Structure 1
Amino acid sequence: MSKTIEKIDYFSCGYCTNDMQKIFKGVCSGKRNFHAGVFLIKHKTRGYILYDTGYSMKIFENKLEYKIYTGLNPVTLKKEDIINEQLKKEGIGTEKINYIILSHLHPDHIGGAEFFPDAQIIITDEYFQEYKKSSFKSLIFKEILPENFEERLKIIEINSHNSAFPYIKSHDLFNDGSLFLSRIDGHAKGQGCLFIPEKNLFLAADVCWGIDLLELTDKIKFIPRLIQNNFSEYKKGVEILKKLMKNNIDVIVSHDMPERIRGILNEKDS
């Protein structure tokens, strides 16, 4: 049977580095790279869709808020790591990207959006409200977004219960049962996550910083807790992921280790 979702590819578009001991109580000191994960989804009729876009070189510009961000989260990024450069190597031009789903608007998710001028940009309605308020804590650096960002937006209300994904409310993006956009608050209010039924796969953005770190949620230190939009909601989001996995749905978060992500996606394609 012909599938609607033909392929999903993963790209690491830069990473930030942190000491685990600064994030979690009671763990050994050790550096960990948190990769900015980007997912390229090939839809049979809708063409190429990006879920998030990674970092861009703009994060290194001489702006106070960028310096604070990279001071707390040292970023490693080369030009060839940026998503448009990686797609070029795969023979995919920027004009071939028809849609960009942005889970939220932190710098490691929006950097590459400017390189795809023809793509419609999709975010949740609740996150759009957050974007309009845009405090420093929200970490929305609007200068990194495309100049015509608001003109290109498709804002999705998440208010339906779908039998294909009965766990939380979602929206059937293309009305064909191929992609269900949901939202899980906590890290960012209105954060958009994506369920792909044909792959039995849930892309969970920054609901947590790594599936292997789920059990450390209660050990997150005070400052990292403050970074979350709402830590109580963050913990609820973690429980949702656990429930999905208990129901045999594969869950990937954006900052999972690349080997884990590629292993899951390779299994889906085999």
Structure 2
Amino acid sequence: MTASHTALDPAAPGAAGAGPAAPSGRGGTRLPAPGKVLGYAVLVVAAAGLLLPFFWMVSSSLKTANGVFAIPVTWFPESPQWANYVEIWRISDMLLWLKNTVFLSVVVTVLQLLTGSFAAYGFAKARFPGRNLLFLVYIGTIAVPWQAYMIPQFIMMSEVGLTNTPWAVIALQAFSAFGVFLMRQYYLTIPDELCEAARVDGLSEYGIYFRIMLPLSVPALASLALLTFVTTWNDYLGPLIYLRDPDLWTIQLGLKSFVSEYNAEHALIMTGSVLSVVPIAVVFLLGQKYFVQGVATSGLKG
């Protein structure tokens, strides 16, 4: 290569105007920016802080009753008490509590998916007078605390004879304004041309909803299902009001009664707490991909 070519070629070594080479690590890989490293460090510390109580709960479930609050704290028991996970099933109605909680959570989740997505379709794709005003009024009910209408609801459930049955909790939680809001925001990201083309082809509104909207809204449905399942699983006040029969108790009511009866068995209490958390942790891990995608895309269009 001649000197003239070297001067004109900006990529040539030593060429005039060539910028400094990008910093690189071993093997030519680019080193991460300090800000990125700091961001990862902050995320690691925050994740550790969030997981620390759960780790302590699991660790305490493998200790003896006297070893839970021993000083200094032992994070890894020298002799794990795996028998705690056998004893908790023997001295409590854990299986019954879990069955009742699974039944309520699954039924409420399915009903909320159906009612929320169907109402959201009407608010997002149907055209009728006062649609936006009705939607704002309906969503405004989210701002009203449940304690404000808790007593009228109980009177209503008593008059229809649903108290002390799981159907009272199911009937009250089968509809969710938040679910309608979440699904409507996602439906707004779906082009209206799809619905118009389906109407031209003779497809009814029910057909559009079942055959077009639902298959395209799997991420939003997964997000709503996960949020509803976790909320119903962790609900304490609703079952406390309506489920008086011990045979109908959920895991939250059962653990409260277990704590009252075995208040000195701290290790077994932690064992029961672990068993109550594991199902929703598994559900979240299985659905986190769709959950993040659904939440991220539900607010793209308003």
Q: TM-score per shorter chain, which class?
A: under 0.3
TM-score with structure 2 setting the length? 0.20
Return the structure number with greater strand share: 1
Structure with the largest fraction of helix: 2
> Under a length normalisation based on structure 1, what TM-score does the superposition of the two structures give?
0.21
